Each structure stands twice: as structure tokens, then as C-alpha cells.
């Protein structure tokens, strides 16, 4: 089944600016050679397409250059540490230190560093830019959770965490970047997502269900779904989504949505398994304007 209704932008696409909306980690890009006649899949094939989380296209900064990588929740790279399922905690965040660790996991997952036009960039510059991205998202996430962000009725960050242990010895960088302390115990955030009770998300398709809005809004969206690349194919993505559905039902949510790119084939199975179905698709012009592959809007009925 073809999963690329139009060309995936090149990793060398010129970067214009970071999205002015701090909610989104996605920069805005303009394709250097946009396809004026993108192919569209048939309506029947569209209804079979399910894909997860962030776009697999790359977003590039100028100097230093960072490539926004896909949330490869169903792929494995390199040596995978042993995972004791009994030691995994999947829950809403508890402390700001845990929230900071979750944000750093997102920056680590969604951005990769490349040299810019052959110019060597110092490790200090790379570190400082990653810190800037993390601090920006951290403050925006805190504002959403605390209710300071207009348009969001309720937001929670749901994380998968593991205790620091010898089994994670092969993931030193992950442990260093995404660790936090709880009751004297060191833990690591290895997966994360946001649950957002709101009418819509910026620059994304809006769900149609339910039709009632205002104080009776029972619609929510998942966003920023990611799992550490060292621990993929262990069921963490599925467990995070399952937990988010449980929390959403506790909030009184009846309709849960997620926006997905068309080219994440592995994640199709994850969302299909989690009960999501196709509802709508992003217009080709909007995808070209935002410099990304088209997105599909998936819906799950939480009243079942």
C-alpha cells in the first residue's frame, strides 16, 4: 500500500523560522521544489491509512542545523537495553523535574544535528540551541498545564519512566539527558505524550465530534508522542496511548483525536490497534504551505 501521496521534503529544504506558536515543536519550512501536482490516494485507501505522531520529514535550522526526526515509535536503532516491564511506570507527571526530563526527551527525539553547509559547529553551540528549544517548550507546556494558555481547558503530560539501573548501561546518553529524581530514586523518562482537552490545536485539522463546545467540551487531542529510540518495540507507545485514553475518560472526554503524517507505516498498526479510525485529511495546499507531508486526522470513540 502506497504511503506517500506526495513527495517527502528533502532534508536540505531551507528553514525559514521557528513556529511562533510555542505549543508546537515543528518549525515552519518552505519546500525548495514543491510539487504542483501532488498525487492523492483514493478515498478507500485513505480510510485504511493510519499513521502516528510527528511527520517523518526533516526540518532544518540554519546554523547550527537541526533536523527534526520522526517519532519512530515502532523502529529500533542499535543495541536495545533489556526492559523489565514490571519496572515501567506509566502515569501523569508528578514534579516539574519530571516534566523537564520529558521535554528533553522530546527535543532529543524530534531533533537531530547535522553540519551546516560543511561548516563545523561547536558542541557548545549545539548544546545551547538544544537548551533553548527545551526551555521554550518547557515554559509553553507549563502554561498549558496551569491553564494560562487560552483555548486549552485541561492539559496533562503522561510519561513512561524507568528506574536508573545497570540494564540501562548501554543508554548512557538517554540516562544523562532524561533523568530525574523521585523520593531519592533516580528515574529516566523513556516515553511521553500530551493529552489536551481543547477545541482545536494550532495549524492542525479540527475534529468534528462532538458538536457541543464551550464548558461542555468533551473533545481532546494527543500530541508530542515519542518513545526513546533505544527502547522501541517494547510496547511503550501502545501503553502510553492506553493510559491517555484512561485519563481522558476520567476527564469526561468522549472523543479523542490525533494528527498523523501519511508516511509512518509502522505506527498505522499501533493506532489501529488502539481503536483509532480515519476521519479527515489535510488539504494539499496547507501541507505545502507548512512545508510538511499531509496529515490525517484520526478519531477514537471513548464511549465504547
pLDDT at residue 219 in the model: 96
Q: Please name which of 84, 83, 82, 55 lies closest in space to residue 70, comparing C-alpha atoms.
A: 55
Q: How confident is the model at residue 117 (pLDDT cuts 50, 70, 90)?
A: low
152-163 and 89-92 beta bridge pairing = antiparallel
Supply φ then ψ for residue 121, to 5 degrees.
Answer: -110, 135
Nearest-angstrom CA–CA distance, 82 and 167: 6
Helix, strand or coil, per DSSP, at residue 207: coil
255-261 and 295-301 beta bridge pairing = antiparallel
Query: Is the omega angle on the peptide bond into residue 29 within 30 degrees of 0, that is, cis?
Result: no
255-261 and 219-227 beta bridge pairing = parallel
* pLDDT score of 188 more than 80: yes
Q: Counting Cβ atoms within 10 Å, is residue 95 exposed (0-12), middle (13-18) or buried (19+)?
A: exposed
Q: Which string of DSSP letters, residue by residue, matches 80-111? A: PPP--GGG-EEEE--SHHHHHHHHHHHHHHHE
- Tally of domains in the chain: 1
In a domain, 246, yes or no: yes
- Take residue 210 and report the three cell numbers written for it: 462532538
Residue range of the domain that includes 164: 43-301
Give the residue numbers annotated as catalytic, written as ranges: 271
pLDDT digits (tens, 9 = 90+) for 73-96: 544 444 456 677 788 999 999 999
In a domain, 36, yes or no: no
- What is the largest distance, in Å, between two alpha-carbon atoms of the chain? 58
In a domain, 28, yes or no: no
Give mean pLDDT, residues 16-39.
Answer: 38
In a domain, 230, yes or no: yes
| Contact present, 277 and 297 (Cβ < 8 Å) | no
| Contact present, 220 and 144 (Cβ < 8 Å) | no
Residues 6+ apart with CB under 8 A from 31: 9, 10, 13, 288, 291
In a domain, 241, yes or no: yes
Q: Which string of DSSP letters, residue by residue, matches 222-281? A: EEEEEE-GGG-SSSHHHHHHHHHHHHHHHHT--EEEEEEETT-HHHHHHHHHTT-EEEEE
pLDDT at residue 261 in the model: 84
Nearest-angstrom CA–CA distance, 218 and 301: 11
Which H, E and C letters describe 135-201, residue by residue?
Answer: HHHHHHHHHHHHCCCCCEEEEEEEEEEEECCHHHHHHHHHHHHHEEEECCEEEEEEEEEEEEEECCC
pLDDT at residue 301 in the model: 96
Query: Residue 114 belongs to a domain with what CATH number?
Result: 3.40.630.30
Q: Please name which of 251, 229, 247, 225 lies closest in space to residue 238, comparing C-alpha atoms.
A: 225
In a domain, 31, yes or no: no
Q: Counting Cβ atoms within 10 Å, is residue 185 exposed (0-12), middle (13-18) or buried (19+)?
A: exposed
Q: How confident is the model at residue 293 (pLDDT cuts 50, 70, 90)?
A: confident
Give mean pLDDT, residues 1-6.
Answer: 36
Q: How confident is the model at residue 118 (pLDDT cuts 50, 70, 90)?
A: low
| The pTM of the whole model exceeds 0.75 | no
In a domain, 13, yes or no: no
pLDDT at residue 35 in the model: 46
Amino acid at each position: 500500500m502506497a504511503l506517500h501521496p506526495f513527495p517527502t521534503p528533502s532534508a536540505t529544504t531551507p528553514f525559514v523560522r521557528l513556529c511562533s506558536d510555542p505549543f508546537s515543536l515543528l518549525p515552519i519550512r518552505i519546500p525548495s521544489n514543491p510539487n504542483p501536482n501532488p498525487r492523492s490516494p483514493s478515498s478507500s485507501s485513505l480510510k485504511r491509512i493510519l499513521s502516528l505522531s510527528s511527520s517523518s520529514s526533516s526540518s532544518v535550522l540554519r546554523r547550527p542545523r537541526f533536523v527534526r526526526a520522526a517519532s519512530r515509535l515502532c523502529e529500533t536503532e542499535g543495541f536495545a537495553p533489556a526492559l523489565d516491564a514490571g519496572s515501567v511506570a506509566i502515569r501523569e507527571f508528578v514534579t516539574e523535574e519530571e516534566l523537564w526530563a520529558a521535554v528533553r526527551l522530546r527535543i532529543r527525539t524530534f531533533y537531530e544535528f547535522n553540519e551546516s553547509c560543511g561548516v563545523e559547529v561547536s558542541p557548545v553551540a549545539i548544546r545551547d540551541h538544544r537548551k533553548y528549544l527545551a526551555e521554550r517548550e518547557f515554559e509553553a507546556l507549563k502554561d498549558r498545564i496551569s491553564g494560562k494558555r487560552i483555548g486549552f481547558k485541561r492539559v496533562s503530560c503522561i510519561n513512561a519512566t524507568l528506574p536508573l539501573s545497570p540494564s540501562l548501561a548501554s543508554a548512557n546518553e538517554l540516562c544523562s539527558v532524561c533523568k530525574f529524581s523521585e523520593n531519592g530514586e533516580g528515574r529516566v523518562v523513556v516515553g511521553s505524550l500530551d493529552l489536551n482537552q481543547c477545541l482545536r490545536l494550532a495549524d492542525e485539522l479540527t475534529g468534528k465530534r462532538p458538536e457541543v463546545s464551550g464548558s461542555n467540551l468533551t473533545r481532546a487531542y494527543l500530541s508530542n508522542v515519542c518513545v526513546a529510540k533505544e527502547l522501541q518495540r517494547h510496547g511503550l507507545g501502545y501503553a502510553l496511548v492506553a493510559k491517555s485514553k484512561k485519563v481522558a475518560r476520567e476527564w469526561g472526554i468522549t472523543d479523542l483525536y490525533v494528527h498523523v503524517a501519511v508516511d509512518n507505516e509502522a505506527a498505522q498498526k499501533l493506532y489501529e490497534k488502539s481503536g483509532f479510525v480515519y476521519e479527515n485529511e489535510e488539504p494539499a495546499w496547507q501541507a505545502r504551505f507548512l512545508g510538511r507531508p499531509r496529515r490525517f486526522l484520526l478519531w477514537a470513540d471513548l464511549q465504547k
